[in-house]
Structure 1
Amino acid sequence: MRTIVVGSRQSALALTQTGQVIDDLKRLSQEHGFDFDFEVKKIVTKGDRILDVTLSKVGGKGLFVKEIEQAMMDGEIDMAVHSMKDMPSVLPDGLVNGAVPRRVDPRDCLITLEGKSIDDLPHGAKVGTSSLRRSSQLKAYRPDLELEPVRGNIDSRLKKLETEGFQAILLAAAGLYRMGWEDKITAYLPVETCLPAVGQGALGIECREDDAELMKLLALYNDKESALTVAAERKFLGVLNGGCQVPIGAHAVLVEAPAGHSHAGQNVIQLTGMVGSPDGDVILKETLLGTDPVKLGEEVAGKLIERGAEKILEQVRE
């Protein structure tokens, strides 16, 4: 029997996600005759060590995956379960995304002490978020809100709602679902108001490209629809060369192509992409349909670049 060593961050959410994936893979292994056992190896990443600074100031994407990828390349671990939104759009040579399991709700949500939607928050309410993407879109929607950074794991952010005078905090709904804490969600932010992060709600199972045996098992775990929509979003991000430090959002779904479309009546990918200025004064959005996720991601990014997205992103990076 081969023991698959799974690298994981030490946060409660990371360990919970990893545990859920291992349970699924154990079941698949038994059903399909793989002789695998699994064990978890905890790894501390740079993103876990630096908690007093917003992500955008310490290097953005990759903060939560670099050390884990290094351990994989060094043969210390065989695979890792990542939140897809933490994964850079280009993986190191020799590593691949072996599977994207079925995605859960990609929306952002609002958590308040006294049940209110984003529209019901009082004028000038103090709202916590460490995400430039969320704050850019919220400033455009509710310029009166006082948006302040809040870092840490889900648990510590929820505590800060009570201890630091926030009237609301914004989180990805998916993390709360995976922790079994969906009852804490006060309201969801519609994607029309706040486009999610690229890959939000999806997991990426990363492994070595040459691990043929493990790749066969992961192929059985891959959810085709989730993989397609996430691929479109990730290509969009890759073209714009975006990380945590830039306000970029994207949301792809499968829809039936309308009459008059070259694939009318068939399922196609609908991708909406967004680039915004940090102050929320400019929000550029574009929605296109397509069948090839890579091409679609490039096209939506191209449309936004034509409309000035690159200039906004350059200013943010400076």
Structure 2
Amino acid sequence: MVQYLVGSRASMLAKAQVREYLRPLREQFPAVTFTHRVILEGGDKDRRSLVSDVSAVSGGSAFSSEQEAALARGDVDVVVHSLKDLPTSNPPGLMLLPPPGREEVSDALCGSTLAGLRKGARVGTGAPRRAAQLLAVRPDLQVVPIRGNVPPRLKKIETEGLDAVVVAVAGLRRLGLEHAIGEVLPLELFPPSPGQGALGIQVREDKAAVREILSTVGDAAVDAQVRAERAFLAELHGGCSVPVGAYAQLRADGKLRLFGQVTSLDGAERVSGSRTGPADESEKLGAELAADLIDQGANSILDEARAATAIS
């Protein structure tokens, strides 16, 4: 019997994502045994050893590098990531397969609605993008840096006296915590991290048999969406430390619409735009939209954000 080892982080969400990914594969390939293996990342082993804000770790490598190393060594055959946590380029010898569908891409406010937040309310998030977008809409808010997996972040509403926290809808749904949602934030004002809601399925380039089996559950439409979003981020030289949001949608006519936004850390400046083009030219679409925002001054906003993050 053929056995494939599937790696992921240790969190409840990571394990839920692996179960989600393996469900159709186990149905299609009953003769294949898929075994889950947990791989601890630097950010999981000792969160206190990280800089004061996880978001300052450019490209999300604190939550992907150990898994990528295990994959490169052959310790596992595939790694299931949250795609938004992955850098926009793969290490040599590794590649991403098309994601198997996608969860809701939006962020959610938990504990309240935007309109229900009192003046000066304390809202928790560890992401510069989310903090910047909140301040752009509600400059009166006090954004409180928080870290941790989804359930601990929700608990901080009580334990740290927060009025609300911002969490990805996808994570809440995958953990069965939809009841915690106070409001799903509108995409045009709160565009998510590129790739949010999608799984990052990473394999070795030289393992053709593994790729052939795993590719059967890939979704071409979702692949086009996330490629556009990640190309947009890559062209802006962005990572977790900069406030860049984007989402792509496949229209009824088969074309792809990509919306992107860059926001200053204090929320005072925003540049945004959209482009529509063929789905099979998704990466070109992302690069073109990035160029549009650069023409609007995105680089100066991003340079200030990087400088502020480095100082903090």
Into which bin does the TM-score normalised by the smaller protein fall?
Answer: over 0.9
- 1:295 and 2:294 equivalent? no
SS state at 2:132 partner: helix
Among 282, 291, 294, the alignment partner of 2:269 is 282
| Deviation by residue 1:85-132 (Cα, 9 ceiling, x = unmatched) | 0011101111111230111100000110xxx32122111110001010
> Do the aligned residues in 2 keep the contact of 1:11 with 1:153 (CA within 8 Å)?
yes
Amino acid at match of 1:303: D
| Deviation by residue 1:43-65 (Cα, 9 ceiling, x = unmatched) | 11122234343113344422211
| Deviation by residue 1:10-51 (Cα, 9 ceiling, x = unmatched) | 111101111221222111213xxxx42111111111222343
Corresponding position of 1:9:
9
SS state at 1:166 partner: coil
Kindly state the Cα deviation for residue 73 of structure 1 after the two structures are TM-superposed. Answer: 0.5
CA distance in 2, matches of 1:131, 1:27: 37
> Do the aligned residues in 1 keep the contact of 2:59 with 2:87 (CA within 8 Å)?
no
Corresponding position of 2:209:
213
Say how many residue pairs are matched.
302
Corresponding position of 2:232:
236
CA distance in 2, matches of 1:47, 1:270: 34
Identity %: 41
Among 131, 134, 155, the alignment partner of 1:135 is 131
Q: Normalising by structure 2, what TM-score?
A: 0.94
CA distance in 2, matches of 1:60, 1:150: 19
CA distance in 2, matches of 1:87, 1:8: 13
Corresponding position of 1:261:
none
Corresponding position of 1:179:
175
SS state at 2:80 partner: strand
Amino acid at match of 1:221: V
Correspondence list, 1:32-71, <5 A: 35-52=31-48, 53-71=52-70
Could you list the runs of 5+ residues in structure 2 that have no partner in the other structure? 308-312
> Do the aligned residues in 1 keep the contact of 2:122 with 2:143 (CA within 8 Å)?
yes
SS state at 2:81 partner: strand
Amino acid at match of 1:6: V
Correspondence list, 1:1-318, <5 A: 1-30=1-30, 35-52=31-48, 53-112=52-111, 116-256=112-252, 266-291=253-278, 292-318=281-307
Cα RMSD for the two superposed structures: 1.2
Kindly state the Cα deviation for residue 235 of structure 1 after the two structures are TM-superposed. Answer: 0.5
SS state at 2:246 partner: strand
> Do the aligned residues in 1 keep the contact of 2:98 with 2:220 (CA within 8 Å)?
no
Q: Normalising by structure 1, what TM-score?
A: 0.92
CA distance in 2, matches of 1:206, 1:123: 44
1:193/1:304 CA distance change after superposition, 3 Å: same
Could you list the runs of 5+ residues in structure 1 that have no partner in the other structure? 257-265
CA distance in 2, matches of 1:60, 1:54: 13
Amino acid at match of 1:96: M
Amino acid at match of 2:282: P
CA distance in 1, matches of 2:89, 2:234: 7
